[in-house]
Amino acid sequence: MSDIVPASAEAVQRVREDPHRLGHRAHGEGAPVMGAGHGETGPANSRIIVGYGFWIFLLSDIVMFSAFFAAYAVLMNATAGGPTGRELFELPRVAIETGCLLLSSFVCGLSFAASVAKNRMWTQIFLLITGLLGAAFLYLEIDEFIGFAAQGATPQRSAFLSAFFSLVGLHGAHVFVGLLWLGTMMAQVQAKGFSRMVQHRLLCFNLFWHALDIIWVALFTVVYLMGAAT
């Protein structure tokens, strides 16, 4: 495959006939163009590929959330005579939840810094704190749901509540999956240290955990703040 030699002068001539190179004929460009800042230096390294791929996955996850957001927006007023958001939402509780989640994201970032420094103890400690804060968030959320259900505000009550429970619950499910993942990662760090694969996974976990934060910020604003205001 290195059997490539610059192509003929005739082809170079043809490139000139097509100054903006709208056509497909450029066999003659040869090495000069390659060096002209295309920056195409072959496959990227695995860390970039893994991070990039996971980031694209997160984008698609955000698209999924946006479908649930859209459903919530459509059904927000379809309370069918049942309780409204304004009657249900307790902002102080949600503020504590938000605090837990944002703080956990910060600690998660610290754990990443520790993992880059290959410091096992601090990585584990920060991951543990991240997990505990995530679990606290999840506990508060489940407790909130149980409280709603006790007031008769179950997802079966109205389309609004269906959309609310699905949207918030979907985020909660993501946090739950994140906690499972986090536990697995802690076990891996303990058992395997900082191998290349483990570091890639820690990078992805970080991206995931921060993405959950971003979604929560949108959720907190659209569902709770706007819901309590109207």
List residues near another protein by CB under 8 A.
1-8, 10-11, 14, 18, 21-31, 33-34, 38, 40-44, 48-49, 52-53, 56-57, 59-61, 63-64, 67-68, 70-71, 74-75, 78-80, 82, 155-160, 162-163, 165-166, 180, 184, 188, 191-192, 195, 197, 201
Nearer of residues 25 and 86 to another protein, judged by Cβ: 25
Nearer of residues 13 and 221 to another protein, judged by Cβ: 13
Look-up: residue for tokens 């605090």? Answer: 99
Query: Minimal distance in Å, beta carbon 202 to another protein?
Result: 12
Query: Minimal distance in Å, beta carbon 4 to another protein?
Result: 5
Contacts of 135-143 with C-beta under 8 Å, sequence gap 24+, read 135/179, 136/100, 137/97, 137/100, 137/101, 137/104, 137/175, 138/172, 138/175, 138/176, 138/179, 140/93, 140/96, 140/97, 140/100, 141/97, 141/168, 141/172, 142/172
**Would you say 27 and 7 are in contact if contact means Cβ atoms under 8 Å apart?**
yes
Query: Minimal distance in Å, beta carbon 65 to another protein?
Result: 8
Query: Minimal distance in Å, beta carbon 82 to another protein?
Result: 8
* Backbone dihedral angles phi then psi of residue 46, each to the nearest 5 degrees: -65, -30
Nearer of residues 93 and 154 to another protein, judged by Cβ: 154
